[in-house]
Amino acid sequence: SEEHPMAQEMEKSRTDTQEEIRDIDSFVAIYFISFVFVGSIIAINVVVAVMLEGFVSSLNADECTKRITAEARNHHKVAGALDPVLSTLANFSSPSHLKAQIDLLFQLFDVDDSGTVDYDELRLGLAKMNYWPCIMLSLEDWETFTFHYELLDEHGAMTPQSFDVAMRFQLSLFAQRLIANKMQQAIKT
C-alpha cells in the first residue's frame, strides 16, 4: 500500500513537530525548575533579611529603653523636689509672664488666703497640682527652698516677694541641672 506523498509529508511534519515540542517541553521544564530554585533562594534571603532587621531594631529599642530608664533614675538622684513644677514654670515667654506664673503659684499655695505660704500650705498646694508621682516636699527641701529659713517671716511663712526670690533661684538651679544632664548625655554618646 502506497501512501500518498502528501500524506508522507504530513506524517513527517507531525513527527518533527512532536520532537520539537518534546525539546521545547524539556527546555521549559529546565527553565521553570531553575526559575523556581533561584526565586526561592531570593525569597529566603529576603525573609531572613526582614527577620534580622526586625531583631536588630528590637534590640536597639530595648537598649534605648534601658538607657532612658537609667537616665531617668540618674535624673531623680540629682533632681530637686520641685522639678516638675519648675519644668512647667520654665516655659515662660517674658519676664512679666514668669512673674505672673510665680504669682499664680503663690495664690494656689496660699490655701488660707493669709497672704503668706508656710510649709504645710506648700505641701497641700503641691498635692492639689496632681503631679504623678506626687511631689513630696521634705523639711530638708523646705529648708533649702527658704535659704535655711532666711526667707521666712516671724511666723515661719513666705511672703509673695520671698516666694518670688525662692522660685527664681530654684528655676536657675533647675536650668543648671538640665544643662549638666544634657552635657553628661553628650559625653556618653
Is residue 1 very low, low, confident or very high in pLDDT (cuts 50, 70, 90)? Answer: very low
Is residue 22 very low, low, confident or very high in pLDDT (cuts 50, 70, 90)? Answer: low
Instruction: Report the chain's mean pLDDT, rounded to a whole number.
Output: 85
Predicted pLDDT at 159: 97
Pairwise CA distance, residues 120 & 158, whole Å: 12
List, as own/partner pairs, every contact residues 167-175 make where C-beta atoms lie below 8 angstroms and the sequence separation is at least 24, other chains included: 167/89, 167/102, 167/105, 168/98, 168/102, 170/80, 170/82, 170/86, 170/145, 171/86, 171/89, 171/90, 171/98, 173/80, 174/80, 174/82, 174/83, 174/86, 174/87, 174/90, 175/90
Is 73's pLDDT higher than 70? no
Report the length, in residues, of the chain. 189
Predicted pLDDT at 71: 64
Asked if 169 and 114 touch (Cβ cutoff 8 Å), the reply is no
State mean pLDDT over 116-144: 90
The model's pTM: 0.58
